[in-house]
Structure 1
Amino acid sequence: MFTTAAGWQTLGLLMLSNLFMTFAWYGHLKDLAAKPWWIAALVSWGIALFEYLLQVPANRIGYGAGFSLAQLKITQEVVTLAVFVPFSMLYMGQGFRSDFLWAGLCLMGAVYFIFRGA
């Protein structure tokens, strides 16, 4: 599936959209910690708009290129972890946890089962 231009375009858009979503969901914990929750929510919604502007085309391109709904979802989950771990360590200053590795291995199992035979 990732051997076609559409497959790589889907993956690239998913990675960019997830970067925006990770900042929308978690960036306010660092950047807006002293602000009321509703300001953080409004800022997060503003950031999330860009996530949707990338996520929707990514899913449409991927689905049109032959990805199943389950394959798109599992791909999104792998991308989520691949974006979240560096974000949590580099931006939020969290330490590496071996649980990141175990979660990644579990996701690789999910990838195997969803993509086998495709």
Structure 2
Amino acid sequence: MGHDLGATVDASLRLLETRDLESFRKLCAPDATVWQNDGIGVRTIDARVEHIATFLAALDSLRFEVVRRFDKPGEVLQQHILHLVAKDGTESRVHASVYFRFEDGLIAEVEEYLYEV
């Protein structure tokens, strides 16, 4: 039986918006990895979730706007904009291209290319 990978990606974004990192983590394989264009290299999903928690603590709100998405079996590539509002009210946007690779319906690998505007 196939998995609706786009729906899983959408669910993961909604969970991040609502700061439900525990439920977000359950959408990921136990040994999932994340690479980001920040120069650090590949991290475990757990290390990335810790980083996300710190990031979210500085925000009043986060909203993802999906611009486009391409699906093929086991993979999703999407472009989105993160709309951020910091605790001090400052608004900013981050443009991102994100690749998701799935195994057994769970996110197994993420590659994030971010550009802050």
TM over 0.5: no
TM-score (norm 2): 0.29
- Say which structure is richer in helix: 1
TM-score (norm 1): 0.29
- Say which structure is richer in strand: 2
User: Which structure has the greater CA radius of gyration?
Assistant: 1
